[in-house]
Amino acid sequence: MTRNPRYDILFEPVRIGPVTARNRFYQVPHALGTGNQMPHTRAAMREVRAEGGWGVVNTGYCSIHPSSDDTPLPYCRMWDDEDIKVHSLMVDAVHRHGALAGVELWHGNSGVGNRLTRVTPVSVSGISFSGSYAGWISLTKSRTMDRQDIREFRRWHVDAARRARSAGFDIIYIYAGMGYGPYQFLLPWMNKRTDEYGGSLPNRVRLMREIIEEVKEEVGQTCGVAVRFSPDELLKVPGETLQTEAHEIISLLSDLPDLWDVKASRWTVETASARFAGQGAHEPWNSFVKPLTSKPVVGVGRFTSPDEMVSQVKRGILDLIGAARPSIADPFLPNKINQGREDEIRECIGCNICVSSYHDGVPVRCTQNPTMGEEWRRGWHPEDIPNGDPEKSVLIVGAGPSGLECARALGQRGYAVTVAEARDELGGRVTIESKLPGLATWARVRDYRTNLIQVMGNVDIYRGSPLSAADVIDFACDHAIIATGAHWIREFPDVDGNSAGDITGKTVYTPDDILSGATPEGPVIIYDFDHYYMGNCLAELLHRRGIEVTLVTPASTVSAWTFMNNELADIRARMIELGIELLLEHRLTGFDKQMVRLANVHDIDAVRSIECGSLVMVGVRSANDGLYRELKSMPGEMADAGIQALHHIGDCRAPGAIAHAVYSGHECARGIDADGSVDTFRWERPVL
């Protein structure tokens, strides 16, 4: 297949100072959850992007000094010469495939707590960033930088840039965004200085200019020097000569750096989920930059459509198509466009499971790409998978996310695969849940896999085909894989955490009921102790149907887990916008079909009753594993039928997020030759 000519512009080279990117596909700096502690894992995760066709592949944020310590979150560092070899591993891996390697030099200022190093944080005026989440609050406040601190601050950047050049990096970043580095000096509400680094905008820009000039003097002959800048806050501040201070900053520095990387000042905005921000949502705060500089501009926007990428370039918004999440979902996105296979792109769904992995302090994972983070540890490649035995037959019962991924991977391996789906529609829970408000992109989990499966001659799918244990045995396959999903239950725990029993009655619903079309009588109480998206999505769905809704949760905030995937604030704002009443820190203790009884989690004697026409329980999912257990109890019959192994995957094995189901299906397909046993892991180990 050949490339569509309308995408030719995406494959034009772009010069970045003394180096040239081979195309416009630019994997921007983003954290991987590996830090310096997992150099092989990090190198393999970056290498696969270079192999997949990205012209530039960057590290995550890389600390330049022990006074910039983001522990317990995993970050890179360039503190001394010993760190060079760690980065060289990644640089060499990226260079093997013809891509440029970039490093984002970072100093957190008062945005970090230095919990590990215990160095007192520094800031422009002794003002520390505040946060309301306990994990981000530091009890150590910052001290004001004096002139000696500023000289050292500049030297730290130069020293780190010199080490980065020694490691082989082609592009070296200066980070002036998200409250970090010289960005604090730019903000008038943080910079209260009265010396040459405070007051007027040229003074506030002074440190940023000095760092750029000194880094360029040190490494600019061989390395491109980039600036990562957050303009959105400063776009709200009127300028003296131009429209805003953001315009004036770009104008003052204009062509000094070799590249402008423009991003949001808040990570929750930069990585807003697909539910709250569409493709290209960053355009309002990065579109003003190109007219003010002759240097290339890169920005992100969760770009998955090549047509939108072309539009960004042709309309003069961006020169380079920046990506973090789309490059995670499909490291081979550029190559697929280049080869005319854009219909095979594994599109990011914007669920932000990747973000939650970083918050967990583990290598980034992905709902769409189950190989993410397993490239070195398990030797998994996102596109290549070892051939299997084409004489072996596999029956998969269930075509949800785990069943479809298992079928896709087994089909690619060459097995003879049959999929039996009880419903008329494929996709299982992703098909159902993609109809919830804002979750339409989740259907991509189904569509990517069905699009590939439908052209595989060795995979057959039968819809509307529920199977019994006898049917499975009669099929007489070599491997039987049960992927029958899970269901929500009505049971809820009492105030002591013990089971309060099953709530029966026509006025008690589960999410399955609502998603199957049931319309509960209002007022509706949603009791959410699942703490993810389902409770608030159902509240929005029922509200839009004109039903009065109150969302009750024992947590201290609505959908508490979603802090992990950066949706928490947006969900709370959406509930307020819709006027949905929230009752936090209350447990459900009973329901008599007219009133619910609730107890305060801090005082079980503080009981209240609320009128309730219908109760929706959002808390526990139970595996639909009856078929698996029945077959498991029939070893003789299975052996007689020639069934060599029985597997259960996805929610049928253990209910979880969609990412867990996809991973489970992929793992089963990879390990089916060894009767589904887990591959041997490789572990990063310190050298003593």
Active site residues: 180
Sequence-separated (6 or more) residues with CB below 8 Å from residue 316: 290, 291
559-564 CB contacts, 8 Å cutoff, 24+ apart: 559/528, 559/531, 559/532, 559/533, 559/535, 560/531, 561/531, 561/532, 562/531, 562/532, 562/533, 563/133, 563/359, 564/355, 564/356, 564/359, 564/360
Q: What is d(CA 272, CA 269) in angstroms, rounded to the nearest whole number?
A: 5
Quick check: 421 and 444 in contact, CB under 8 A? no
* DSSP code at position 402: H
Quick check: 103 and 169 in contact, CB under 8 A? yes
The helix/strand/coil state of 10 is helix
Q: What is d(CA 383, CA 333) in angstroms, rounded to the nearest whole number?
A: 11
Quick check: 287 and 319 in contact, CB under 8 A? no
Q: What are the backbone angles phi and psi of residue 163, rounded to the nearest 5°?
A: -65, -40
Q: What is d(CA 392, CA 396) in angstroms, rounded to the nearest whole number?
A: 13
Start-to-end CA distance of the chain, whole Å, equals: 51
437: region left, alpha or beta (phi > 0 left; psi from -120 to 50 alpha): beta
313-316 CB contacts, 8 Å cutoff, 24+ apart: 313/9, 313/10, 313/24, 314/9, 316/290, 316/291
Q: What is d(CA 505, CA 615) in angstroms, rounded to the nearest whole number?
A: 10
